[in-house]
Each structure stands twice: as C-alpha cells, then as structure tokens.
Structure 1
C-alpha cells in the first residue's frame, strides 16, 4: 500500500495537471475539515498563549506580593530587633546607674561607719580615762583613809576587834564607792 501511495505521488510530481487535480480533490474532501482543524489549532494556540500570559502575570503578581510580604516582614523584624536592642541598652544603662548609685551609697555608708567607729572609740577612751581617774582617786582616798586609820590605831593602840570593825567599815565604804 505504501508502494501504491509513493507511486501515485511520483506520478503526480511528474505530471503537474494531476497535481492540481489532486490538490483540488484534497481541498474538496479535506478542505473544510482541514480549515476547521487549522482554525481549532489556531484558537487552541491563541487560548494557550493567553493562558500562559495570564499564568505568567499571575505568577509575577504572586512573586511581587511574596517579595513585598517578605520585605515587610524583614522590616518588622528589623524594627523589633532595634527596639529590643534599645530596650536592652536602656536596661544596661539603668543597671549601671543603679550600680554606681549603690557603690556611692556603700562608700558613704563606709565613711559614716568609720566616723561613727572613731567617735565611739574616742568616747570609750574618754569613759575609760574618767573611770580610771575616778577609781585611782577613790583608791588613793581609801589608801589615805587606811593610812590615817592605821596611824590612829598605832597611836591609840586599839585592840584587834576595833581594828576589824574599822577595816570592815572601810571595805563597806569601798564597795559602796565602787557601786556608784
């Protein structure tokens, strides 16, 4: 069958009038269908191109929207990061200020404590000196009285009982003076 077809085509090529008749027959038999198919192919091609263009426009619009959303998101993140950095810097400055304030207060308290300690030591030294002086004075008085009594006893030659009473009185007087 292929041989018949190729021999018919060779005959048509060799004879131009047969070729035009064959073309006319083809046009009559297949012309409307061919034109219809060509028209459908052209419409399909046009619709396909339109759909591709619409799809391309839609994809480009979606890409622009995604790019804009990403840019907005990045800007928001950058703003939030800047705010967080600013808040952290502010907190660090507050902490440093508070630490400086505490340090100053500690130095002031230390100076006050040293001054109070010095004043307390001076007061204690004065009190000790006063007590020592008072005790020495009372001791000297007691010794003087004891010497006086001893001299009187030697002079009067009193007996032991009287001496014991006298020493007891001196001891009681010393205890009373120490209590004051």
Structure 2
C-alpha cells in the first residue's frame, strides 16, 4: 500500500497548484492583458524617461555652455579693467614721479633764492650798521666839539639848547654838518 499511496499523492495535485490552474482558467486572458499593458506602460515610461534624460542632458549642456560663455565674457571684462587700471596706475606713477622731480627742483630753487635773500639782508644790515655807527661817531664828535666850544666860550644855556636842537635835527634828517 505504500506504493499505491505515494502514487495517489503524486497524481493528486497540491492545493497551491490547483489554485494556480483555477486562476489561469478564470483570469488568464485578463491577466495576460494586464501584464501586456503593464509591460507596454513600462516600455513607454522607459522611453519617456530616456527622452527626458536626453532633453535634460541637452538643456544642461546648453546651460553649461551659456555659463561658460558668460564666465569668459566676465573674464575678458575683468582683464580689460585690469589693463585699464594698470595703465592708470602707471600714468599716476609717472605723474607722481614728474611732480616729485618738479617739487625737488622748486625746493632747490627756493632754497637758493632764500640763501641769496638772506645774504642780501645780512649785507644790507651790515651796511646800515656801519652807516649808523659812522653817523653816531660823527654826532658824538660834533657833540663833543660843541661841548668843548661851549666850555671854552661859556655861552649861555639858550645858545646851548639851540645848538643841541640843531644837532638833533641833523641826526634825524641825516645831514652831515
């Protein structure tokens, strides 16, 4: 009996297999249609995804090219601005150098003029001092002479006052009498 029982078990399908056969019979065509539709939708989705991927890649490439173009333009503008600034800096440096040279020349000329002016002033002061000293000596000599004359002639005070007044006025006017 063991052989017969094992053969019966092999002939009788399992409940899972029977359920699968039943499903195939009941839903077979519908399931195949759904599977085909799912497969078609998957293919369409794959095609659209590939198309969107290509479109995104093209847009990304265009955006990257535009960005690189703008970056190149900005670099060119910066390079031109740098060149302009360098030119202005060189021009300012040259002007500064020229102004420094001119300032040094003017300072040297002013120093020379100041030295000459000081020398002339010193000479004029020396000349005036000599003249004043000579006039003072002459005035003292005249005063001494008048004093001696007064002592010798014993003139009165009025005459002495007139004489001193004359000497004073001569000193003020610079007359050599």
| TM-score, scaled to structure 2 | 0.68
Equivalence for 1:53: 50
For residue 81 of structure 1, report the CA deviation from its aligned partner.
2.6
For residue 7 of structure 1, report the CA deviation from its aligned partner.
5.8
For residue 34 of structure 1, report the CA deviation from its aligned partner.
8.0
For residue 41 of structure 1, report the CA deviation from its aligned partner.
5.8
Equivalence for 1:70: 67
Equivalence for 2:138: 141
**Aligned-partner Cα distance in 1 for 2:70–2:91:** 31
> After the TM superposition, which residues 1-180 of structure 1 pair with which residues of structure 2 at under 5 Å, given as runs?
3=14, 6=17, 40=37, 43-44=40-41, 46-177=43-174
Cα offsets for 1:21-57 (capped at 9, x unmatched) = xxxxx8xxx67x7886676566545533432332222
For residue 158 of structure 1, report the CA deviation from its aligned partner.
2.2
Q: Which runs of 5+ in 1 are unaligned?
A: 10-25
**Aligned-partner Cα distance in 2 for 1:156–1:56:** 142
Distance 1:35 1:161, change over 3 A: closer
Q: Which runs of 5+ in 2 are unaligned?
A: 1-12
For residue 76 of structure 1, report the CA deviation from its aligned partner.
2.3
CA RMSD of aligned residues (A): 3.5
For residue 125 of structure 1, report the CA deviation from its aligned partner.
1.1
Count how many residue pairs are aligned between Structure 1 and Structure 2: 160
